[in-house]
Each structure stands twice: as structure tokens, then as C-alpha cells.
Amino acid sequence: MPFTGAPNWHDEAVNPSDSTQSGGNGAAALVQEAAIELLESVRTELAGLDLPLALPGVDEARAAASAAQAQLDDYILPRWKSLDAPLLAVVGGSTGAGKSTLVNALVGHPVTRSGAIRPTTRQPILLHHPDDASWFTSARVLPTLHRVHGELAKEQTPASRAGASPDASAMTSLVLVADSAVPAGVALLDAPDVDSISDDNRQLAGQLLAAADLWLFVTTANRYADAVPWKLLLDAASRDITVAVILDRMPQGAEAEVAEDLRAMLQREGLAGAHLFVVAETAVDGLGMLPGQAVAPIHDWLRDIGDDAAGRADIVRRTLNGTVRSLSGRLEVLATAATAQQDAGRQLAQDVESAFADAAARISKASSDGTLLRGEVLARWQDFVGTGEFFRAIESGIGRLRDRIGAFFKGQPPPAVKVETAIETGLQAVIVDQASRASEDADQRWRADPAGRQLLGTDDLSAPSAGFAAESAAEIRAWQGEVMELIRAEGAAKRSQARLLSFGVNGLGVVLMVVVFSFTGGLTGAEVGIAGGTAVVGQKLLEAVFGEDAVRRLAKEAKRSLEARCESLLGHEKRRFLERIGDEQDAFEAPAARLRILAAELASLGEMGGHA
């Protein structure tokens, strides 16, 4: 269930840095507890979010949901739970920008030389001060990355993996290097190239940058306007993250012009507060190291951050609040995607419901407008009641039928079973035909919709299920048995017993079925002489036995029973489609509504401490 008990974040006006692992002051501790509860609710909702239908933009929405959940796990929740943890500064940038060389220069010695620690796709490097080791050796941040200590960072053999967790070999490894040259309170993470030709590299780079408290974004004089880095920088601006942009390998004489242009670009894109450092193009020594003075301003800036607890807290507050606000916006987008899923699901369901409702209506009409009182059913009925004198008597005066009817049924009437069989065959043909039309219609409607096509896959639902004809026949026979029970129950009255015995339960049951098949009473003209005449005979015969009111009641009850059985048969076929959509469409509280509630609460949380 979504969290709805958040305090008024603005009224609290609490800086996250006021709360420590031990709980901090009372107000800050309450804010921290409520924030974590809200964020856990958001994570649960994202984990359960299902966007199954192939709608435009659904792949992007699924990726956004996955990325939001990952950021909650990698950064937002860990940071809210450990507000006083050291900052994580991720060093990112384009291919060839010199990130690893810069990291080496910042710590004063090589940490990425070949054969020792290799910054491969699966092994980003995190450098931290030894006093900060406990914050990073656990799975507090980036929990999906397997920890490997620097001295074990060479390519692992199967034997070296034996001591790791069961799935550690399948996880990306985060290489931890404790180095006293790294300022306490700030850790450096050397990320893969953001524009790498490897999909895994790019995805990992994005994951690491999303888990950062601040960015050191490295570019060069000829790459600083590239689209891929700027896409990430714009994301940083939307999150209000603290960014330092490093212009590396700056040619002699171009510094002023390039730096001015880059500053203008940063300002236009909402990153006017970003720190800009320029590293001149400088020869490296035999170990591939830049001279210390080339990166001294960057090193001093990081050291000052490490020494300034209040400054670190301000960076935490700014980045955390901005990231939460950004997450709120993503939930709104996902809520829109969930609404589109619901609307599409309802439309697909409506297409199916409409197709089978039309089929039910056609069956009802065919079984009540006299359509079935033709062909084989009419022939068997005429065999049953006789021809010649019987119909001439009807023509001479239908009103005298009550007095004369017994004369045509002396002794045992002809067997009614042939009429029952003809009714079963005719009614089954109607039901199967209409179920086939409905299945084909629903299948065609779904195949005209990308979401429907995805749900159908390679399955063909354009015809009824294999056993439908047999099920229909069984259901009709069950209905016929129910009609016989109605006749038997009605004949239990003393005044009807003699006539019931004279005509027989089966005989009168068949007559009631014939009456049901003309129950709309709309037959006129020539039809009266064929189907209509058949129905009139049946109705008058039943009235002679049970009375007019009883016949009307029996016919209505038999008709309702038949329609209920037909709807049940069609419902089974309809479910073949609807079960592919699932029950989410009818949920009392839709995912979209829950996402919007959580988005609103996140927006309030994200504004908690104001802007830096």
C-alpha cells in the first residue's frame, strides 16, 4: 500500500545532515524515518509495476521504471539511511577523455596500470580513504555490484571465485582501493565511458552516475559539445546535482576561448553553478602520470570538500532533494504509461465483450423469433402432432382447440424424442455458429491492435475451443431436462394431473420448447401458417393443460434458463481472450492512481530542505 503519512516536509524544514546514523535530533529522526518509509513504498510499487501491453513508448517506460528502482537501491535509500556517509564522487566522461589518467594524478600514483587493477567493463574502481572503508565494503550503495579489494582485482580464476558468494561471478565487480591520498569524506569512482561501444559499459556508467553525490565530468577541447555527455549533464541539471566539469588535454592558447564557450553552454542548460576546471595538455612520465600541479586545483577542491562537514552536508541535501524531485517526475510519467495500459486493456476487453455480446443477442433472437421452428424442427413437430385433420381444425377455429384437442391425442402420442433431437441439433448449430463469429471478430479486432497482437502471439483464437460443440450439445440437453422438470413440477397440481398424464411429460416439454422459440410473439402474415402456426398450436395446447398464466410463466423461465446457459458457454470462450489481459483492469485502486499519490508525496519530500 502506498505511504500516505508523510509529515509536512516544508513545515519541518529539516536539513538531512541534521540526522545521523544514530538518529540525530528528534525532528530530523522523524523526517528521516518517514522519508525512508515513503521511499520503500515507492520501491515496492515500482517492483510490482506491470506494463505488459505493446503500446508506443512502453519500452522506454519499462526502462524508466527499472532505472528508477535501481537508483532507489543504489543511491536514494542508502543515502537517506546514511546521511552522514562520505560523498561518492563519480568520475565520468567520453571515450579517450583521460578519466583514468586524471584519477591517477589525483591520488599521486598509478592505480589502473595493466596487470594490477584493470578498469574493465565489469570492474569500475572506487578509491576511498582507509578511514572510510566501512561505508563502501558493505552493500550500502550499489548493492548489485560485487566487492573486490584492490589487491584481488586481477582477473579472477575459478579458484579465486570459490570463496565469493554463489552468484558473485555473474555480478559486475566494484574494485575497492583504500588509499590515504584520497581525502577522507570523499570517495572517487572511476566509471566506464558514457559513450562506449559496449552496451554494458554505457549502462554501467549510467548506473554509477545515478548513484553519485557529485560528478567529476571529464571532457576534452574537441569533445565538449558531444551529444551523449550533454544528455547526461542535462540529467544532472534536472537533479540539481553538484557537478565539476573538467576540460582535459586543453591545447596551448585555446583555453580562454573553449572555456568561455563551455561556460556559456553550461549556463544555457541550467548548470551555471557547475565548477569548471581546465587541465592543460601535458606530457606524462614513464608511468603515464601527469605532474601533480596539472590537477592541483581539482585535488584542492576535493580536499576542501572533505574537510568541510557543512559543505558536504549541503551537497548531500542538494543532490538528494534534486534526485527525489526527479524521481517524482518519473513516477508521473510512469503513471501516464500505466493509465495508457489500463485504457488499452479496457479497449481490448471491450472489443471481446462486444463481439460476444452480439453473439449472445443473435442467439437470443434466433431462439425466440421462430427461426428454429423451420426445417427439421418443423418437420419433426408436424410428425409429432400429426397433420391433416389437426391443422384443418386449427384453420376452422382456433378458439375451439381447447374442446377438440383431446381428440387428436387419444392413446399415446408419437414419440417426442425426434423433436427433442431436432431442437438440440438446430440450437447447437446456432450457438456454434455465433460463437465462431464472435471468436473470429474478437481475434480480428485484437490482431488490428499491436497490443492485442502481442497478447495473442502465435495462438489462433479465431475459432471456438476444440470441445465447444460437444459442450454446447451437453448444455442443450441439460436445458431440455430442466424444461421437463418445469413441466413435471407444474403438473403436480391436481387440476393438471389428468391432462399431464394424457400428453406425457416429454410431450408437453417439447411443446414448451416450441413455445419458447416464438416467445417474442412478433410472427405475423405467412409465418403464422408455418413457424407461427406451429407456435400457436403449442401455446394453445399448453394453455389447455395448465392455463394461460402458467404457460406465460413457464415460457419465461425456460427462456431465461436457455439464455443463461448460452451466456455461460460464450463466457468460457470469451475468457480465452480476457485471461490474457489479467485482472488488473478491474483493480479497485489502479497502479496509475497509486503512482500519482506517491509522486505528489515525493515532490513534497524533494522540496524539504529548499534549494542550495
Residue range 29-58, pLDDT digits in tens = 888 999 999 999 999 999 999 898 989 999
State yes or no: pLDDT of 586 exceeds 80: no
Phi, psi of 125 (to 5 degrees): -110, 130
Section 10-35 average pLDDT: 63
> Do 50 and 449 contact (CB within 8 A), yes or no?
no
What residues pair up with 92 in beta bridges, in sequence order?
217
State yes or no: pLDDT of 418 exceeds 50: yes
Position 407 scores a pLDDT of 43
Which residue type is seen at 609? Answer: G
State yes or no: pLDDT of 386 exceeds 50: yes
H helices of 76-226, where? 77-81, 99-107, 133-137, 158-161, 199-210
CA gap 395, 216 in Å, rounded: 103
State yes or no: pLDDT of 241 exceeds 80: yes
> What is the share, in percent, of the chain residues with pLDDT greater than 90?
50
Which CATH code for domain 86-133+178-307? Answer: 3.40.50.300
CA 453 to chain centroid: 17
pLDDT band at 237 (very low <50, low <70, confident <90, very high): confident
State yes or no: pLDDT of 414 exceeds 90: no
Section 591-597 average pLDDT: 93
CA gap 449, 454 in Å, rounded: 9
C-alpha cell at 106: 589525483
Section 498-512 average pLDDT: 73
Section 326-348 average pLDDT: 93
Section 454-481 average pLDDT: 95
pLDDT band at 371 (very low <50, low <70, confident <90, very high): confident
> Do 124 and 204 contact (CB within 8 A), yes or no?
yes
CA 326 to chain centroid: 21
**Higher-confidence position of 424 and 588:** 424
Q: Write down the pTM of the prediction.
A: 0.72
Position 535 scores a pLDDT of 62
What pLDDT, in 10s, does the model give residues 542-569? 887 788 888 889 999 999 999 999 999 9
State yes or no: pLDDT of 121 exceeds 60: no
CA gap 539, 366 in Å, rounded: 18
CA gap 34, 27 in Å, rounded: 11
